[in-house]
Structures are given as structure tokens and as C-alpha cells.
Amino acid sequence: MNKSVNILLILLLIPVFGLSIFVGFDLPIEFLKTSGKNLPYQHVIFITFGIFIFLLGVRRSMQRWVGIKMVNSLEKYQWNEEIDAKRKSQINMYLMIEGVMHILVAFALVALSQKALVIATVFFALGLDHLIFCLFGNIKKVWRVGVTNKAIVVAERDFKVIYFSGLRRVTVHQQTLFFDYIKELQLAISIDSISPENRAAFRNVLAEKLNRDKVHFSETFKEF
């Protein structure tokens, strides 16, 4: 989810920065026979981009917050542990980078053109959300991995639900735990999400919950 959202945000930022530069510096737009400040419907264009960026950011944010609420309902899980310290350090770094970058983008847009204030406000709010989520996760220790009767739930920087239905193979390759499904679907989580001291218990719970006649555990997973 995070990767796809970040890619979409970058793709949206390209025309946003271009528009902000043309409007802010009143550059000529030859093919429209006008200049940046005289561009028609510029307010509508900025607001439209702002709405798209807002919806992308809010969707990601809601999934994160709903995810940690879900995984911290401990009574619903047969196994539930906090993520490993190594993974937590990675998440802190990514969240702080994302938060600071969003805020810097907000200031850059306002510096280019006041007309981009709506989009800048959205980016500033999304940046704060990253930083607040980072702070909350560290104080409350809510980033966790849990196993229910039907799925594995991972809630940290990203929120993932790995359902058991249709699962055919579990394997480990390098630093990633892969789940292969019918119709060539594959999901994955970082092995660092699960602390080394909790991996045997995690593997045993999966063995209990899954139909081993249908789900194959690779040798790398058995040694995980």
C-alpha cells in the first residue's frame, strides 16, 4: 500500500510543481496563448489536485489507524506479539522521512505560489500524520503481528491481512516471508516483523491453524 501510494503522490506532484512554477513566476504557456497568472480555472485545478492527494493520504492513514486498533484487540488472537526492534527502527526511519518530506513539499509549494496553498495544507497535514503515527507507535507500542483462526494481521507502517483461505505455500527468501496462493497470487511481509525469539511460536501457531495437506511449508520456513 505504502509503495503504491507514494508512487501515485510523486506522479501527482510532477504536474502540481509544474503548475505552481508557471503560476508563481507567471511564465508564458505558448500552446494556450496565455501566462501562468492568467491561466483559466487555475483555482479549480489546484483544488482538484488537492482533493485527489487528500483522498490518497486519508485512505492510507485510515488503514494504518484502523489496523493498529484491530491488531491490539488481543482477545481476538491466538498469537499476538509486538514487532521486532529492528523492524521498529526501520519503520521509525521511513515514517520520519515521509513526514519531513511531506512538510518540505508543503513549504516548497507555498514558496512557489500562494495559489498552491490548498495542496500545501494537505501535504502539511499528511506529514504531521506520519510523525504523529510514528510517535504514537513508539509510546504505546501498538505495532504488532497477530494470528487469528482465519488470517495473519500485520499492523505497523503498513497494514496487511494474510488470509489462510486459498493459501498453498509459505516460504522464506532473504529477509521476506512469502505466502503463495492459488491463481499465482503472492503476498509478503518482512521477517523482521517477527522477533527471532517469537518465530518458533509463530510457526507452530500457523501449523495448527492451516491444513497441512493443502499448505506446504518450505524448508526455509521450517528453519525460520
pTM above 0.85, yes or no: yes
Mean pLDDT of all residues in 110-121: 96
Average pLDDT, the chain: 94
Q: What is the pLDDT of residue 36?
A: 74
Three cell numbers, residue 35: 501566462
Q: What is the pLDDT of residue 1?
A: 66
Contact 110, 148 (CB under 8 A): no
Band the pLDDT of 184: cuts 50, 70, 90: confident
CATH class assigned to 144-222: mainly beta
Determine which of 22-36, 60-74, 169-183, 186-200 has the lowest per-residue pLDDT on average.
22-36
Q: What is the pLDDT of residue 194?
A: 95
Mean pLDDT of all residues in 143-156: 96
Mean pLDDT of all residues in 143-155: 96
E strand or H helix at 13: helix 2-24
**Distances from the Cα of 14 to the Cα of 1, 49, 134, 171, angstroms:** 20, 11, 27, 39
Give the span between the Cα atoms of 41 and 43, in whole angstroms.
5
What 8-state DSSP symbol labels residue 144?
E
Residue 70 has pLDDT above 80, yes or no: yes
